[in-house]
Structure 1
Amino acid sequence: MTAATARRGYVLVLTGAVLFGLNGGISRIAMDGGIDPLPFTSARITGAAIVLALLAALWRPAALRPPRGRSLLLIAGLGLVGVAALQLTYNVAIDRLPLGIALLLEYLAPVLVVLWVRAVRREDVHRRMWGAVACAVGGLALVAQVWEGLQLDALGVTMGLLAAVSFATYFLLGEHNVGTQDPLHVIVWSFVMAAVLMNLVSPSWRLPDLTQDVSALERLDHLSVPLWLPLLWVVVLGTVTPFFLQLVALQHLPATQVTMVATLEPVLAVLLGWAWFAESLAGVQLLGVAVVMAGIVLAQSARRAAPAELPTPQ
């Protein structure tokens, strides 16, 4: 791998992380504008599935072949849990918690992945895994200030933790699929299956009037935009584009490096929460954020046999 190739990969994955970080704020505009998390999730997944399918038709038509056999079961699990459940729990979490804290909870997934492969698959992992677990749990205790009683919304915390479980499932199932299949094929059909499920639960076309103007919220509340604009952003620039960028980044960098750089997203979300949503964190909570991030980085490097991850589905 040349230095130029590595730089290109880092630019791609950093751009994807920034877009994913911004996506949380844009999603808040749409949900505050009157779209409930269920139909919002349906609309986002359905829109992304359509765009991904069109890209596959233009770029790699073979990716549109339906999966079969064991591959069908794995991709179905990936789509239903790793995409649909993840996006729903994530949307509820960012709607009820400070943006940075919601993403910190979700990004406990790498820790869960390492624990799973050690306890269930009996794979060898580095001893730093236990330091990662300690950092993750201790850092979250600092963020939540548990000595003062839980100050965070209970449902939001529950959804954030379920998002971490769903995210870990995404990595574990995706590892099986991407090892033998085209990642674009896996992503397209995962989103298609997730879209089918979400439209059965909450049809994506049952949305409020998308032409109405909604506030850009908090420090930008003097601005208003039509409701269709944040929804379009979330589909194109908050889902498809960062997915594509990180997919291409995997052609320039090892998957472990791509995933580690992508963990900058929670840090960006904390900064975004402060700059846009006027969210303030006490000094001890900022320390907790740093400790959790240290745990995430340790967890990423704790597994000796690194999986071939998919792009992050935020």
Structure 2
Amino acid sequence: MPVRITDSSHGRGLGLSLALGSALAFGGSGVAAKPLIEAGLDPLHVVWLRVAGAALVMLPLAVRHRDLPRRRPALLAGFGLLAVAGVQACYFAAISRIPVGVALLVEYLAPALVLGWVRFVQRRPVTRAAALGVALAAGGLACVVEVWAGLSFDALGLTLALAAACCQVGYFVLADHGGGDGVDPLGVIAYGLLVGAAVLTVVARPWAMDWSVLAGSARMNGTTVPAFALLAWIVLVATVIAYVTGVLSVRRLSPQVAGVVACLEAVVATVLAWVLLGERLAAPQVLGGAVVLLGAFIAQSSTPAKESVVDRSVVEGRVASTSAG
């Protein structure tokens, strides 16, 4: 009986589409969060609302996969601490000390760090083209965020931004690592959000938040928008959908490829800020966005896709046994 092997090009195409969708969803978070912050909410409170709201949405999946904490406690704890709480808390702490552009650039050094993890920790080969894609994406990102506009060498701020980058590496590595043993990625995300919400509750202290802001409205480029609608977008699209599509993309691509494609988040955020918030793009930013796209394309097209759903050695064994029979 013939054994069907899933087309790798189809799997990579789907993975790339999911990665792009994740970058689009994550990229829209800042545009919705900025009006809430300007309306009076503390940035850490916005982060807590984002993670806690997403955890509440995903709670039924956590109940459905209630055996996961017993089976994979380290994976869930790591995903919650690094991929959810760590990235958010470290990034917002960093931008309180250094320019946003500098912090964003340092955070998106994560794809390069992922390549280092794959090459030196996992001892797996990395193509030169993939490394070139990372370099191009990092250079393009520097143009997108206009890193030259305000450099600050605050040691603690830069350390916090680098910590955010390391936590983002944990996101990609853990999303890929959790693919074995029949672990449902949606269950991992659900418990990761619960762990992240618990950690951020201690850090953000939401009991001191001005809850009345959510009952009012916020201004988006001169347009009045209900604050609760902005929060709903952040929770449902920029967190739930973003994490789900992001983790699924890593499962179908690889941590290093998904990491490079994730750099598009900065491009998306900049374009949306231009369209929705009136923050205009300069020529270097447009050029930088094109370079990021080029780097992402080179990386994803030059790196092998994930192995087929059916392990090649198993297939070869079956073929050999069939021939012997």
TM range (shorter): 0.7 to 0.9
Per the alignment, residue 118 of structure 1 pairs with 119
Counterpart-to-counterpart distance in 2, 1:27 and 1:159: 21
User: Once structures 1 and 2 are overlaid, which stretch shifts more, 208-217 or 174-183?
Assistant: 208-217
What is the Cα deviation at residue 299 of structure 1?
A: 4.2
| Aligned residues between the structures | 295
Q: Does 1:53 align with 2:59?
A: yes
Q: Deviations over 1:172-222 (max 9, x none)?
A: 1232222232212211111111111111222334321234534323xx324
1:223 partner SS? strand
Q: Does 1:33 align with 2:39?
A: yes
Per the alignment, residue 74 of structure 2 pairs with 73
Per the alignment, residue 321 of structure 2 pairs with none
CA gap 1:67/1:224 in 2 versus in 1, 3 angstroms: closer
Q: Aligned runs of 1:22-171 on 2, under 5 Å?
A: 22-57=28-63, 61=64, 63-68=65-70, 71-91=72-92, 106-143=107-144, 151=150, 161-171=162-172
Counterpart-to-counterpart distance in 2, 1:152 and 1:179: 43
TM-score by length of 2: 0.72
Counterpart-to-counterpart distance in 1, 2:152 and 2:276: 21
Counterpart-to-counterpart distance in 2, 1:191 and 1:77: 11
Counterpart-to-counterpart distance in 2, 1:157 and 1:9: 32
User: Once structures 1 and 2 are overlaid, which stretch shifts more, 123-132 or 24-33?
Assistant: 123-132
CA contact (8 A) 2:61 2:187 kept: no
**Greater Rg by CA:** 2
Per the alignment, residue 312 of structure 1 pairs with none
What is the Cα deviation at residue 129 of structure 1?
A: 3.7
CA gap 1:292/1:264 in 2 versus in 1, 3 angstroms: closer
User: Once structures 1 and 2 are overlaid, which stretch shifts more, 150-159 or 27-36?
Assistant: 150-159
Amino acid at match of 2:187: H
Q: Does 1:255 align with 2:261?
A: no
Q: Deviations over 1:137-186 (max 9, x none)?
A: 5435545667xx55257678766554332211111123222223221221
1:276 partner SS? helix
TM-score by length of 1: 0.74
CA gap 1:140/1:243 in 2 versus in 1, 3 angstroms: closer
Per the alignment, residue 25 of structure 2 pairs with 19
Unaligned runs of 5+ in 2: 1-5, 309-325
Q: Does 1:178 align with 2:214?
A: no
2:209 partner SS? coil
What is the Cα deviation at residue 68 of structure 1?
A: 3.2
CA contact (8 A) 1:215 1:221 kept: no
Per the alignment, residue 237 of structure 2 pairs with 237
Per the alignment, residue 213 of structure 1 pairs with 216
Per the alignment, residue 311 of structure 1 pairs with none
Q: Deviations over 1:18-75 (max 9, x none)?
A: 3332222111122222221222222221121121112444xxx1x1225237x31232
User: Once structures 1 and 2 are overlaid, which stretch shifts more, 270-279 or 44-53?
Assistant: 270-279
Counterpart-to-counterpart distance in 2, 1:11 and 1:116: 24
CA gap 1:278/1:98 in 2 versus in 1, 3 angstroms: farther
Unaligned runs of 5+ in 1: 309-314
